[in-house]
Amino acid sequence: MKKAMTITYGVRNGVYVNMTNRCNCSCTFCIRNLADGAYGSDPLWLEREPTVQEVIDSLKQWDLSQKDEVVFCGYGEPTERLDDLLEVAAWIKQNYTIPVRINTNGLADLLYGRHTAPLLKDKIDVVSISLNDVTAEDYTRVTRPIYGKKAFAAMQAYATECAQVVPKVVMTVVDEVTTKEEQQKAAEIAASCGAVLRVRPLEK
């Protein structure tokens, strides 16, 4: 496993932020099991977690006026550092008009034991939540959350609350590991949460 301080990296015309390698899931398809980076990036395993100032300094190295979005993603679950993430997002909003997205497993409320979606208001434009599967049993088997089966319902409740405070919520399933029937059911679940479904390729 190669480590580096790859705090930001480019994906298409977006700037992705890599703040932590911590995660409360252990997905069977996690890209971290397959490679040290994503989309041709340098290694995303961090030598240490960057400070908020280091994240901001790294973002300053990009011309964000020419980019489509900033995405909190990386090689871990971004909401493991929710307070720091929101501090960086606030800085972005104070200085740029660029949309800000979080790619998340949607389990922040279980992580913190409280409702966290309201904290995203006016700082985050899009929340992309990994739905992954359409039953609690299959979701738990595929994502292996530390919270067990209750994670499936908690993730949907989080999506519903996010949809009340951010402009857009997307729920995703991975094309290679779901059937067309499951994708149809996933679309219904997403709609019931006030979200839209995206069927995405295996990369995160």
B/e letters for 75-114, b = 16+ CB within 10 Å, e = fewer, are bbbbbbbbebbbebbebbeeeeebbbbbbbbbbbbbbeee
Is 52 a binder of ligand SF4 (CB under 6 A)? Answer: no
**Cβ closest to ligand SF4, residue 98 vs residue 134:** 134
Q: Which of 30, 52, 126, 136 binds ligand SF4 (CB under 6 A)?
A: 30
Query: What distance in Å separates the CA atoms of residue 105 and residue 129, rounded to the nearest whole number?
Result: 5
Token representation of residue 35:
């490679």
Contacts with ligand SF4, 149-178, as mask; x by CB under 6 A? ------------------------------
Contact 110, 154 (CB under 8 A): yes
d(CA 41, CA 17): 12
Residue (140 or 143) nearer to ligand SF4, CB: 143
Q: Which stretch binds ligand SF4 (CB under 6 A): 26-34, 87-95, 110-118, 156-164?
A: 26-34
Among 25, 117, 166, 189, binds ligand SF4 (CB under 6 A): 25
**Interface contacts to ligand SF4, rule CB under 6 A:** 23, 25-27, 30, 32, 76-77, 105, 130, 143, 204
